[in-house]
Amino acid sequence: MTTLREEDVDRLRRDTPGTDAVVHLNNAGSSLPPRQVTDTVLDYLREESVRGGYETAAAHADRIRGVYDGIARFLGADAADISVTDSATRSWQAVFYAFRFAPGDRILTGRAEYASNAIAYLQIARRTGAVVEVVEDDESGQLDIADLERRLDDTVKLIAITHVPTQGGLVNPAEEVGALAERAGIPFLLDACQSAGQLDLDVRRLRCDALSATGRKYVRGPRGTGFLYTHPRLRERLEPAMLDLYSATWTAPEEFEIAPDGRRFETWERNYGLVLGLGAAVDYARRVGLPAIEERVTALAARLRADLSQIAGVTVHDQGKRKCGIVTFSVAGTEAAEVQQRLAAAKINTSITRPTSYQYDQEVRNLPAMVRASVHYYNTEDELRALTETVERLA
Ligand SMILES: Cc1ncc(COP(=O)(O)O)c(C=O)c1O
């Protein structure tokens, strides 16, 4: 599908039982899964309960392998480059904590960086003497490519940025960052947690060495799932910070061998029902079509921003040349928590985003706590109207 028509959206909503119950505009928190995902997980758990966990996994070994193929196609990668984890954070940490930083090594990141990543940089900087540098934004509010380029030299050991931040609709220019990083021979780690499933991602176009993502957000998978892409050129260089009998093989009493593929970042134990549910979500997204998803999500969010901007007292805070499905706003004289509660009372799900989640951004933007309405392709214009009308009554 290249464009989603009204009848396509109706059909996709029929696959999504939650759309009968709520107006779900918290897709950047955790979206409503299609029944194909929920059924996959529940069927598997039921089978495990009567057949045995190991026996069920063995019986579904081909399907489980297929999850890696599906994620690889979703990202334009090879199945060997994929690791399945339990969150975006675990995926990201598996790569970041595998780097060996020395005093004076520089880590370049952006103002939109996610809190957990920033905390990890600070921890490693304290422990190793590495230095964290925040690349400035340009006048549009996206990462300034010229500033990044000026900072590059052979002391930069890693460029790590967030594609779409938790605190807004910005889409950082990841492809331009990837092109620069590749030219300079510097590893590029992309946090695609908020973009995977709403934007059409291709690791060849992004030229990233590693990409981390979660299942529950725009991918519409189950909670407790995540995935990681690593380019072989990076994987060969990185020894995972932690190993087990799955990511490595104990080949002799004094020897072990680390798995060459994405398995080196995994551990033995996992919830295979959730893994299959993640696979079902990725396959579902691919059937809907990522270009069509991107087009509709972007258009719905643009519409919502335009409508909210018309309301006196409402400020929309999203920035960047390119914007996605996340819309953040505040209402003068009404706390974000109050707005969210009033929306929740009208069965409209949104979330709140607070400055402790984005200290680098806050340094230059001085934002209030904001309401975050994140749209997905299964949302409708009527649902957006329900939100703007409720906000209008508050403003
Ligand atoms: C930009 C970004 N990166 C990473 C994460 C963490 O994802 P997870 O909770 O799956 O670890 C989030 C979650 O909100 C996020 O917004």
Predicted confidence at residue 65, as pLDDT, reads 98
Strand 23-24 relative to strand 82-85, pairing: unpaired
Pocket lined around ligand 1, Cβ cut-off 6 Å: 87-89, 114, 162, 165-166, 191, 193-194, 214, 226
- Structural domain that includes position 23: 6-32+289-394
Q: Is 283 helix (H, G, I), strand (E, B) or coil?
A: helix
Given 287, 316, 340, the domain boundary residue is: 287
1 domain residue, yes or no: no
Query: Partners of 108 in the beta sheet?
Result: 133, 159
Residue (of 196, 161, 385, 173) closest to 294 by Cα position? 196
Average pLDDT score over residue span 321-337: 97
26 and 44 co-located in one domain: no
Do residue 360 and residue 271 come from a single domain?
no
What is the tally of structural domains in the chain?
Answer: 2
Average pLDDT over residues 324-342: 97
Q: What is the pLDDT of residues 26-68, one digit of tens each?
A: 999 999 999 999 999 999 999 999 999 999 999 999 999 999 9
Helix (H) or strand (E) holding 11: helix 6-14
Residue 376: which pLDDT band, with cuts at 50, 70 and 90? very high
Among candidate residues 287, 307, 337, the one where a domain is terminated: 287
In this predicted structure, the answer to whether residue 158 has a pLDDT above a threshold of 80 is yes
Residue 118 sits in the same domain as residue 257: yes
Say if residue 141 is in the same domain as residue 276: yes
Atom of ligand 1 nearest to the CA of 226: 10
Each residue's pLDDT tens digit, 283-320: 999 999 999 999 999 999 999 999 999 999 999 999 99
Q: What is the predicted pLDDT for the residue at 2?
A: 75
243 and 102 share one domain: yes
Q: What value does the mean pLDDT take over residues 381-392?
A: 98
| pLDDT score, position 359 | 94
Same domain, 77 and 212: yes
- Identify the CATH number of the domain in which residue 144 sits: 3.40.640.10
Atom of ligand 1 nearest to the CA of 166: 16
Q: Tell me, yes or no, whether 249 and 355 share the same domain.
A: no
Q: Does residue 249 form part of some domain?
A: yes
The two counts, helices (H) then strands (E), for the chain are: 15, 15
* Cα(163) to centroid(ligand 1), Å: 11
User: Could you identify the atom of ligand 1 that is nearest to the CA of residue 87?
Assistant: 10
- Amino acid 205: pLDDT: 98
Last residue of a domain, one of 263, 287, 311: 287
Determine, yes or no, domain membership for 390: yes
Structure token digits, residue 380: 């409708």
Which residue owns the Cα nearest ligand 1 atom 14?
Answer: 166
Residues 158 and 269 in one domain: yes
The reply to whether 280 and 293 lie within a common domain is: no
What is the pTM assigned to this prediction? 0.98
Cα within 13 Å of Cα(109), Cβ side: 28
| pLDDT mean across residues, the chain | 97
Question: What atom of ligand 1 comes closest to residue 162's alpha carbon?
Answer: 1
Clarify whether residues 25 and 113 are in a common domain: no
C-alpha–C-alpha distance, residues 276 and 225, integer Å:
10
pLDDT band at 1 (very low <50, low <70, confident <90, very high): low
Q: What is the pLDDT of residue 42?
A: 98
Give, for ligand 1, the residue of 89, 219, 361 to mutate: max count of ligand atoms closer than 8 Å to Cβ.
89
CATH of the domain at 12: 3.90.1150.10
pLDDT digits (tens, 9 = 90+) for 89-119: 999 999 999 999 999 999 999 999 999 999 9
Judge if 206 and 300 occupy the same domain: no
Residue 91 falls within a domain, yes or no? yes
**Mean pLDDT on 226-253:** 97
> Whose CA is closest to atom 7 on ligand 1?
88
pLDDT of residue 395: 79
